[in-house]
Amino acid sequence: MKDLLPAALMLALGCAPVAAVAAPIPPPVTTLAPDANITADEIDHAIDVGRLLQARLMVEASAGLNPYRRDRALGSIDLAEGRFAAALERLRPLLAVRPDDALALEAAGMAAAKMGRSDARDLLVRSTTVDPRRWKAWNMLGILADLRRDWAASSDAFGRALALRPGSPVVLNNLAYSLMLQGRAREAIPLLERSISAAADNEAARNNLFVAGAMNGDYPDVAGLPQAEAARALNNAGYGFLLRGDAAAADALLNRAIAANPLDYPLARANLALVGESAR
């Protein structure tokens, strides 16, 4: 059972799902003049706040950009767009040149963590040592501490990230998730609610809220939800009841989830199998 990875909780926290759209996004129409007065700091800022298209256009237009800053920016964009190996490949040589570059350390550490590499923690710790304001590094250190079940370290790391980024929906969600790992679902719920109120489209936090609610013994209220959303809520709640050790409630909710979903729902079926295993 422990090898099973329930997809219900394959939460790409902070990774916004692509919205269902009527038509694809057309390619940019913009071409920046080659002599555009673009500074590397502006590019770094655009990446930092998640405006990746803006950043990429600016990098492409800035022929005169310092090669080091250019590669660091492209590495950070690779990371943000999920190309972790490419990011690491681009960032590693930079760290050989400037081993104390907090931003490069942070980006490399995050890429390494996403790839499950053992050097991730060292890179992130170095980043926060050089610059204690690297909130993304603190956030990732919190996640890594959770993996080690080092709750004191994760609490400290998420606390620092939140102090630097008050109200960040991503960090709030991660802290809540950490509390759920510790079986402290009741404390996680208000954090998840805050996360959702700060970012209504935060799907990870919405899913976690149903799981945490169920871990706390609350049945989900799916009245009025669209069918697919209700099915997802029931699945998450069923999973939460499984974590709570209430196999009967989990079984009932997961069966409701399967019935509510107009299509096949392999995720809920997998979770239902977990319920069966837990009963053995």
Partner 1 sequence: MGNKLSTRLLLPAALAATVGCAPSSRVHVQAAMPPVANSPSLEQGIALLRNGNVSMAIETLQIAARREPNPRRALNALGVAYDRLGRFDLSRSYYEQALALAPADADILHNLSVSLRMQGRLAEAEEVAQEEQSRRAAAIEQHADAAPAPAMAPSAMRAPPAAMDHAAIAPEARVAPLPPRPAITPPANVQRAPVLGLRVVNCVGRRGMARRIASAIAARGFGGAELVDETRQFERTVLILPQAAPGRFFEVLRSLNLRPAVIRYRNVKFATLMLGADAVALDQRLVRARRT
| Shortest Cβ 4–partner 1 spacing (Å) | 8
Provide the token pair at 68. 């080091």
Number of residues that bind partner 1 (CB under 8 A): 82
| Shortest Cβ 85–partner 1 spacing (Å) | 14
Which residue of 58, 87, 157, 189 would you call a contact of partner 1, by CB under 8 A?
A: 58
DSSP 209-273: HHHHHHHTTPPP--TTS-HHHHHHHHHHHHHHHHHHT-HHHHHHHHHHHHHH-SS--HHHHHHHH
In degrees, to the nearest 5, what angle opens at C-alpha 191 toward C-alphas 163 and 143? Answer: 65
Q: Which of residues 72-131 bind partner 1 (CB under 8 A)?
A: 79-83, 110, 113-114, 116
Q: Which stretch binds partner 1 (CB under 8 A): 58-66, 67-75, 96-104, 216-224?
A: 58-66
**Does the footprint of partner 1 cover residue 251 (CB under 8 A)?**
no
| Shortest Cβ 261–partner 1 spacing (Å) | 21
**Does the footprint of partner 1 cover residue 6 (CB under 8 A)?**
yes
CA dist., res. 5 & res. 132, Å (int): 34
207-226: burial string, b at 16+ Cβ within 10 Å, e else: bbbbbbbbbbebebebeeee
Q: Is the dihedral of CA 100, 106, 112, 117 positive or negative?
A: positive
**Does the footprint of partner 1 cover residue 245 (CB under 8 A)?**
yes
Which residue of 87, 102, 123, 143 would you call a contact of partner 1, by CB under 8 A?
A: 143
| Shortest Cβ 145–partner 1 spacing (Å) | 10
Question: Measured in whole angstroms, how far is the alpha carbon of residue 273 from the centre of its chain?
Answer: 27
**Does the footprint of partner 1 cover residue 35 (CB under 8 A)?**
no
**Does the footprint of partner 1 cover residue 257 (CB under 8 A)?**
no
